[in-house]
Amino acid sequence: MGAAYFYHLTRHPLERTLPMLLEKARAAGWRVAVRGRDPARMDRLDLRLWEGPEDGFLPHGRAGGPHDALQPVLLTTGTERPNGAVCVMAVDGAEVMPEEVQALERVCILFDGNDGAAVEAARGQWRALTGAGCAAQYWSEAAGRWEKKAEA
């Protein structure tokens, strides 16, 4: 049974935080699906991940291609995980179901702490997932480094 980790982004944008979390997930040996709601936003994230760190790039692909099953990281706006992802990273309020949290190794929900609507959406997801019995942790970078602020 997995857990949902909520990441409250206040100091660094998604474009900087997501690659760091993806590297950690890959180091754990996990295949990842990055789930968003807006295809244009996923295009921008795709470009950002290709730029990667100076010493390389983060191997990934966009859902809908001929090699989805081979991708270690797959960017998608759908709920399917054709790459066999055991970790879902939901961005921009993408929906996550309690059954997914319980079936996967990890679900990460990343939200912009400077956007009131995004904060409210994340609070709603927290209530829905913990109310369904899912384990959850809330992490904040407000103090300048990531700190666990709550656990359910």
pLDDT of residue 54: 59
Phi-psi category of 32—alpha, beta or left, where left has phi over 0 and alpha has psi -120 to 50? beta
Architecture of the CATH domain 3-151: 3-Layer(aba) Sandwich (3.40)
Please state whether the predicted TM-score (pTM) of the whole model is above 0.75.
Answer: yes
- Would you mind telling me the total number of residues written for the chain in this entry? 152
User: pLDDT grade, residue 56 (50/70/90)?
Assistant: low
